[in-house]
Structure 1
Amino acid sequence: MLRALLALTLSALTAVALAAPQVRVVGLFAGAAVVNIDGQRRLLKVGQSSPEGVQLVSADSRKAVLRIGGVERTFELSREYSDGYAAPQQQSLSIARGVGGHYWVAGSINGQSVQFLVDTGATAVAMNEAQAQRLGLDFRVNGQAMMVNTASGVAKAWRMKLDRVKVGGLEVLGVDAIMMEGGSPADVLLGMSYLNRVGWREDQGMLILESKH
């Protein structure tokens, strides 16, 4: 009888383990998280549960606590829980739409911190000369002089390659950039020379970046 009960218990535990959803946190915010559950992306606020029964207990910019099958587990960005262990997955980042419908995201250029404005209309990463100087980019020596058309007319600029551009866990090497004379653009633009090197799409007010295999 004891052996039969033990076998039944082990069978039930195995069934529960097999039924556990695969969960990946791909976006973190204060009081909310974007959670990938068995391939379905869910935006959960604290206290909300997904149709799969995953509940968001708490969240901030560093981690989220989820209740799965009655058990609370802590997740960092782009980590997956499955069958009792966490493992790195494809790098992914979700960016919430901000003021004016724009997407803002913190990142770095050559290891220097930058606040980017995502601009799918810009062919390259772009910045003004003061921003380039702050980042230590010697564009007048290492860049190629050129003229570009702007909303204010034709302006002098320099094109050069950045060693590396990183947003979240998504780092791209050898990224084309344009440094413009004067004060435009006012923000550092994360343009297509970076975005085309990663997967990106818009979904329900979120901009989602994913590493390419």
Structure 2
Amino acid sequence: MLAFSSIAAHAESVALAGMLGSKALLVVDGSAPKSVAAGETHQGVKVISTSGDQAVIEQAGKRVTLRVGEAPVSMGASGGGGGRGTRIVLTAGTGGHFMTPGQINGKAAQFMVDTGATSIAMSGADATRVGINFKNGQPVNMSTANGITQGFRVKLNSVRIGDVEVFDVDAVVTPQAMPFMLLGNSFLTRFQMTRENDQMTLVKRY
């Protein structure tokens, strides 16, 4: 019970990745999606009801409605609304990777933290989906497993995770398919990063 309470207290953000029948696929603090039926609880987040592409969840008396594909909602007490938060808490998922849903220019995105990436990186398909006209960007040569290919350097108006939002973030778009976007140092260097066991905390510096 003590361990469960500790986990529940750290549920900072919750997103709805999809629906599996009447079960909600919840992503809590960037962890792998978990199917949760109405009345069940996952990491301190209880599913109250599901309908279509929506789910009503509750944590610590706070009840919100999630919709598939929308940015995660903040369930913790850190920061305020409207993108004015200053703290992001991520929990390592399968394989030790830090995954998190977020938004680019107001459109839903799925990130994997990559401290070895110079900037945010995404595929052309993802760039198109979030409304980036990347072919107007600066052409760059990119080294891949299949040799040198041409990508494009672009500037993102905004990148948001939970209630934390930063502006004018550099990114590169590659023609290769990618399972998710890489959250690289053009975003990460704006934060003070600390890691303890399987939890990463990012505190906004500017």
TM over 0.5: yes
| Cα 1:153/1:33, change in 2 over 3 Å | farther
**2:171 corresponds to which letter in structure 1?**
A
Deviation at 1:32, TM superposition (A): 2.0
- The structure with the largest alpha-carbon Rg is 1
Aligned equivalent of 1:38: none
Q: Match for 1:128 among 123, 148, 168?
A: 123
Question: Which runs of structure 1 show a deviation greater than 4 angstroms over 4 or more consecutive aligned residues?
Answer: none
Give RMSD over aligned pairs: 2.8
Matched residue of 1:131: which SS? Answer: helix
| Cα 1:178/1:90, change in 2 over 3 Å | closer
Instruction: Output one character per residue of 1:30-54: Cα deviation in whole Å (capped at 9) or x when no partner.
Output: 962239xxxxxxxxxxxxxxxxxxx
- Using the alignment, how far apart are the partners of 1:196 and 1:62 within structure 2? 33
Write the mapping of 1:15-164 to structure 2, written as runs, cut at 5 A: 32-34=8-10, 59-60=44-45, 63-64=59-60, 76-79=75-78, 91-141=86-136, 143-164=137-158
Deviation at 1:209, TM superposition (A): 1.4
1:212 counterpart = 2:188 = no
- Using the alignment, how far apart are the partners of 1:212 and 1:171 within structure 2? 12
| Cα 1:131/1:166, change in 2 over 3 Å | same
**2:93 corresponds to which letter in structure 1?**
G
Instruction: Output one character per residue of 1:45-65: Cα deviation in whole Å (capped at 9) or x when no partner.
Output: xxxxxxxxxxxxx93276436
- Using the alignment, how far apart are the partners of 2:143 and 2:170 within structure 1? 17
Identity %: 33
**2:10 corresponds to which letter in structure 1?**
V
More helix by share: 1
**Highest RCO, 1 vs 2 (Cα 8 Å, sep ≥ 6):** 2
- Using the alignment, how far apart are the partners of 2:130 and 2:123 within structure 1? 11
| Cα 1:116/1:30, change in 2 over 3 Å | farther
